[in-house]
Amino acid sequence: MRFSGFRALWLAQFTSNVGSWMQTVAAQWLMVSLTSSTVLLSAIPAAASLPVLLLAVPAGVLGDIVDRRRLIFGAQLAMLLAAVALGVFAAAGWLTPWLLLALLFAIGCGGALSAPTWQTLQPELVPPENRSQAIALGSVNQNLARAVGPAIGGALLAATSASIVFAANAASFLAVLAAVALITVPPRIAASQPREHAVAAARAGGRFVLNAPDLLALLMRSVAFVFFAGAIWALLPLVARGQLGLGSAGYGGLLACVGVGAIGAATYGPVIKRRFAGRVIYAASCLVIGVAAVVLGTTTEVAVAVVALVAAGAAWIMGIGLLGAAYQGSMPGWVKARGISYYLIAFQGSNAIGALVVGSIAQASSVKTAFAVIGGALAIAAVVTWRLPLPTGDHAAMPAEPLPLPDIDTDPREGPVVVTVRYRLAAGNADAFLAETRALRRSRRRTGASSWRLTRSAEEPELFTEEFVVGSWEEHERQHARLEATDAALLGRLDALLAPGEVRTARHAFGVQPPR
C-alpha cells in the first residue's frame, strides 16, 4: 500500500466493490418483492456473471494488445451509465423482473470487459517481489467490501429506497474513473514486437492455456468449487426472509458475516498456507462450505446462521485466494490477460450456471433440499479433485534468452511457416528422447505453434524430425521471444541426448498454394 499507484487503484476498487455489494442487496430484495420465482432470484448473480462467458476472451485479448487505461475507462463509463439507468427506472417504478435483469446484465458486460485487464494491472503497479502480496490484497478487497457493502446497502435500503442504493452504486464508479485517469499504467507491448492481430492473439491465448496442464487443473478445481459454493449467496435472501424472518437490513447483516469470515481468513491465510499443503486447504474449504450449506438449509436461529456464514466466508476466501494466486502466478506476462480470461470464464460461468441450477432445484423441491445438494456436491468435489496438480503460484514464469533466428528478408506477415528440427541421437537415447517429447509438444503449442508432429527415420532409427507450423514469420519471431526458462531447460536436456559432435538443426519453409 506504500506504492501510490497501487494504493489509488485499490481504494477506488474498494469503493466500487462496496457499491456493487450495495446494488446486489437492493436488487435481490427488490426481486423478492417483484416475484416469488426462485429461478428469477437466482438469475441476479447469473446476470452479472454470464457476460463473462461471452466477453472474457475478447476482453483478455484487448487487455494484452490495446491501451489498458482506455479499455478500463471505457468499460467503467459504460457501467456508470447502466447503473444510472437502473436508479432512474427504479425511482420511476418502471422496473420489472426482466428489465432489472437486463440492466444488471449490462453492468456485468462492462465488468467483464475490464476484469482481465484490471486483475493483471494491479500487481504490475508494485515491484516484482511484492506482486504475490498485491494479488492477495485484490482478493481481500472484494471480501472486505463484502463485509461493509451489504450492511450499508441493507441499512440504506431500509431507510430510503432501492433507487437511492442504485444511485449510490453509480456514484462509486466515479472513484474508479478518477483513479484510472491519475495513475501511470505500465506499458504491456514490447517495443521490439509489433502489436498482435486480435484473432491471432486470441488463438495464441487459447493454445497457451490448453497446453499448460497446471492451468487446466486449476480451472477444473475452480469449476468444482465455485459451481456449488457460489450458489449459497444466491439463495441467502430466501433464508433471511423465510427461515429467519429478517428484513433487508438483517439480510445485509448476514452478507456482512460472510465478509467478516473472509477478512479473518485473509489475515491468517499466510500462516495457514505455510503450515498446510494447498490441496489440504482446498479440500477443507470445500468441506467447510458444504457443512455450512447444510446448516443454513435447516436452521431457524439467526445466531447459528451467523456462525455458519462466518465459517463459509473464511473458507470461500481461502479457496478462491489459493486458486487465483496459483493461476495468475503461473503465467508469463505476454499472455496474462488472455490467460486470466479463461479463469474468469470458469469462475463466473460456474457461479452463474450453478446459481441457476441450484435455484431450479429449490423451485422444484425446497430450499432445504437445494442446500443439501450443495453440501453433498462439495464433499464429492473435495475427493474427486484431490489428486489434481495444485501449483503454489509463488513465482511467475521466467523468460529465457530468445533463440537466434535466421536472417531472412521476408514480409513479417508471410506464412504459414513450417519449422523442421532434426535431432540425431546417440545410440540408446531414443527412449529418453521420446519421454521428453510430450513436454516439447506442449512447449511449441504454448508459444504459438498451430500444429506439431514428430517422425523417425526408417533408414536411420536414431534420427528424429520435429515439425511444427506457425501462422506467420512475425508469429514465429514472437514464439522465440516467448520462451521460458523451463523451455530452455527442456531444449538443453534434448541436446544432451544428441550424438557426439551433433547439434540440433532447424530449417524454415513458407507454405505456398500450387496453381490451379
Q: Sorting pLDDT into bands at 50, 70 and 90, what band is 193?
A: low
pLDDT at 110 over 60: yes
Question: What cell numbers appear for 512 in the block?
Answer: 505456398
Name the percent of the chain lying above pLDDT 90.
36
Residues 6+ apart with CB under 8 A from 139: 266, 317, 320, 321, 324, 325
pLDDT at 353 over 50: yes
Pick the CATH number of 417-510 from 3.10.129.10, 3.30.70.100, 3.90.1150.10, 3.30.479.10: 3.30.70.100
The rounded distance, in Å, linking the Cα atoms of 254 and 243 is 13
pLDDT at 396: 52
pLDDT, tens digit, 9 for 90 and up, residues 281-322? 999 999 999 999 999 999 999 999 999 999 998 998 888 888
Which range is least confidently modeled, 158-167, 247-256, 447-456? Answer: 247-256
Could you give the residue range(s) of every CATH 1.20.1250.20 domain in the chain? 4-183+198-384
Interaxial angle between packed helices 38-65 and 68-92, expressed in degrees from 0 to 180 and rounded to the nearest 10: 160
pLDDT at 98 over 70: yes
CA-to-CA dists, residue 159 to 171, 250, 361, angstroms = 19, 13, 34
Residues 6+ apart with CB under 8 A from 143: 258, 259, 262, 263, 266, 313, 316, 317
DSSP string, 338-389: HHHHHHHHHHHHHHHHHHHHHHHHHHHS-HHHHHHHHHHHHHHHHHHTTTS-
pLDDT at 189 over 60: no
Q: Name the nearest CA neighbour of 446 among 220, 205, 215.
A: 205
CA dihedral (485, 489, 490, 494) in degrees, to 10, reads 150
The SS3 call for residue 508 is: strand
The rounded distance, in Å, linking the Cα atoms of 379 and 29 is 30
Interaxial angle between packed helices 4-34 and 68-92, expressed in degrees from 0 to 180 and rounded to the nearest 10: 30
Contact 239, 296 (CB under 8 A): yes
Which range is least confidently modeled, 38-52, 172-186, 240-254, 306-320? Answer: 38-52
Q: Which CATH architecture has domain 4-183+198-384?
A: Up-down Bundle (1.20)
pLDDT, tens digit, 9 for 90 and up, residues 436-454? 999 999 999 998 899 999 9
Segment (H or E) for 510 = strand 505-510
The rounded distance, in Å, linking the Cα atoms of 229 and 226 is 5
Strands (E), 368-470: 417-424, 451-456, 463-470
Name the percent of the chain lying above pLDDT 70.
95
505-510 sheet: strands from edge to edge: 451-456, 463-470, 417-424, 505-510
Helices (H) and strands (E) in the chain, counts: 17, 4
Question: What cell numbers appear for 288 in the block?
Answer: 467447510
pLDDT, tens digit, 9 for 90 and up, residues 381-426? 999 999 998 887 654 555 555 566 777 777 778 879 999 999 999 9
pLDDT at 460 over 70: yes
DSSP string, 399-445: B-PPPP-------TT---EEEEEEEEBPTT-HHHHHHHHHHHHHHHH
Q: What is the mean pLDDT of residues 46-70?
A: 81
pLDDT at 403: 62
Q: What is the mean pLDDT of residues 120-141?
A: 75
User: In angstroms, what is the C-alpha Rg of the chain?
Assistant: 26
The SS3 call for residue 264 is: helix
Q: What is the mean pLDDT of residues 370-380?
A: 94
The SS3 call for residue 491 is: helix
Q: Sorting pLDDT into bands at 50, 70 and 90, what band is 191?
A: very low
Could you give the residue range(s) of every CATH 3.30.70.100 domain in the chain? 417-510
Which range is least confidently modeled, 77-86, 163-172, 392-401, 480-489? Answer: 392-401
Q: Is the pTM of this model over 0.85?
A: no
Q: Sorting pLDDT into bands at 50, 70 and 90, what band is 136?
A: low
pLDDT at 486: 86
Q: Name the nearest CA neighbour of 191 among 481, 400, 445.
A: 481
**Mean pLDDT of all residues in the chain?**
86
pLDDT, tens digit, 9 for 90 and up, residues 214-226? 999 999 999 999 9
Query: Cis link prior to 412 (omega < 30° from 0)?
Result: no
**Higher per-residue pLDDT: 397 or 208:** 208
pLDDT at 452: 95
The rounded distance, in Å, linking the Cα atoms of 323 and 319 is 6
Q: What is the mean pLDDT of residues 484-491?
A: 88
pLDDT, tens digit, 9 for 90 and up, residues 313-351? 899 888 888 888 788 878 887 788 888 888 888 887 888
pLDDT at 194 over 70: no
